[in-house]
Amino acid sequence: MPPQPKPEGHDVFISFRGSDVRHTFVSRLRAALRREGVTSFADQDMPRGQDLTEAIPRAIERSRVSVVVLSRNYASSEWCLDELVTVMRCCSRGGHVAIPIFYHLSPEEVSGCYKEDLDRHKRSFTYERVDGWIRALAWVAGIAGWVVPAPS
């Protein structure tokens, strides 16, 4: 029997770069979780007009697990990086688990793959914010997860 979701929350929060995996990997992942009775939350579940800056962190905090789908363009989105920082913070408090999925890249590629995006972010955001993103990416790359290889 699957665990019951937290009150007013979901079992799993899914962090991903929509343009990379929304209609492929993530839609299949959510369908598989649903078949097993596991509730999931992704940004498309947000009602139109709701303030994402408050709702997304709250959804992460109210979930038991965060699945972080690290694709080639994940770090191009400051939204994704902010989600990752929130996931890291929730895990450090205890009671929350992060599961990385390395989609068409390996954990070893994370720092190099995202260098260009992070360099671009350094020109637009504060040092503290970008440094938090870098630390969160290093943290998640060090967690045992799953690698989904690119098709041959």
Residue 86: other Cβ atoms inside 10 A: 21
CB burial of residue 73 (10 Å; 0-12, 13-18, 19+): middle
Residue 70 contacts residue 101 (beta carbons within 8 Å): yes
Q: Is 83 a catalytic residue?
A: yes
Torsional sign, CA 108, 112, 115, 117: negative
In the set 83, 108, 109, 116, the catalytic residue is 83
82-109-146 Cα angle (round to 5):
75
Report, as residue numbers or ranges, the catalytic residues.
83
